[in-house]
Chain A
Amino acid sequence: MTTDTSPTEEAVLRTDGLDARLLVDRGTFRLDLRLSAAPGEVLALLGPNGAGKTTALRALAGLTPLTAGSLRLDGRTLEEPESRVRVPTEDRPVGVVFQDYLLFPHLTALDNVAFGPRCHGVPKAEARAQAAEWLERMGLTDRAGAKPRALSGGQAQRVALARALATRPRLLLLDEPLAALDARTRLDVRAGLRRHLADFEAVAVLVTHDPLDAMVLADRLVVVEEGRIVQEGTPADISRRPRTDYIASLVGLNLYQGRADGHTVRLDGGAAITTTEDLTGPVFVAFPPAAVTLHRDRPDSSARNLWRLEVFGLESHGDQIRVDLTGELPLLADLTTAAVAELSLHPGRQVWATLKATQTHAYPA
Chain B
Amino acid sequence: MTEPKAGAERKAGTEPRAGAQPRAGAERKAGTEPTEVLGGGGTRPWLGTPRLRTGTPLPLLLPALVGLVFLVLPLLALLVRAPWRSLPDQLTSVAVWQALRLSLITATAATAVALVLGVPLAWLLARARFPGRRLVRALVTLPLVLPPVVGGVALLLALGRNGIVGRWLDSAFGVTLPFTTAGVVVAEAFVAMPFLVISVEGTLRAADPRYEEAAATLGASRFTAFRRVTLPMVAPGVAAGAVLAWARALGEFGATITFAGNFPGRTQTMPLSVYLALQSDPAAAIALSLVLLAVSIAVLAGLRDRWMAVS
Interface size on B, residues (CB 8 A): 19
B216 touching A88, Cβ below 8 Å: yes
Rank and list the top 3 A-B pairs by shortest CB-CB distance, nearest first: A119-B219, A116-B218, A102-B214
Chain B residues positioned under 8 Å from A106 (CB to CB):
232-233, 235
B211 touching A104, Cβ below 8 Å: yes
Minimal Cβ-Cβ distance residue in B for A63: B213
B219 touching A102, Cβ below 8 Å: no
Instruction: Jot down 28 A-B pairs with beta carbons below 8 A, ordered by A.
Output: A61-B213, A61-B217, A63-B216, A90-B216, A90-B218, A90-B222, A91-B219, A92-B217, A95-B218, A96-B214, A96-B217, A98-B210, A102-B210, A102-B211, A104-B215, A104-B229, A104-B232, A106-B232, A106-B233, A107-B232, A115-B218, A116-B218, A119-B221, A119-B224, A163-B218, A164-B218, A167-B218, A167-B219
Q: Chain A nearest CB: distance from B126 CB in Å? A: 18
Chain A residues positioned under 8 Å from B222 (CB to CB):
90
User: Is A192 interfacial (CB-CB < 8 Å)?
Assistant: no
A90 CA / B217 CA spacing, docked (Å): 5
User: Is B299 interfacial (CB-CB < 8 Å)?
Assistant: no
Q: Mark A167-186, 1 if CB is under 8 A from B, else 0.
A: 10000000000000000000
User: Is B127 interfacial (CB-CB < 8 Å)?
Assistant: no
Interface size class of A (residues with CB under 8 A): 20 to 34
Q: Chain B nearest CB: distance from A198 CB in Å? A: 23
User: Is B112 interfacial (CB-CB < 8 Å)?
Assistant: no
Q: Mark A78-106, 1 if CB is under 8 A from B, else 0.
A: 00000000001111101110100010111
User: Is A120 interfacial (CB-CB < 8 Å)?
Assistant: yes
Chain B residues positioned under 8 Å from A63 (CB to CB):
213, 216-217
Interface residues of A in 132-190 (CB under 8 A from B): 163-164, 167
Q: Mark B209-253, 1 if CB is under 8 A from A, else 0.
A: 011011111111110100011001101000000000000000000
B211 touching A90, Cβ below 8 Å: no
A115 CA / B224 CA spacing, docked (Å): 11
Interface residues of A in 28-65 (CB under 8 A from B): 61-63
A120 CA / B217 CA spacing, docked (Å): 11
A115 CA / B214 CA spacing, docked (Å): 11
A315 CA / B10 CA spacing, docked (Å): 45
Minimal Cβ-Cβ distance residue in A for B232: A106
Chain B residues positioned under 8 Å from A89 (CB to CB):
213, 216-217
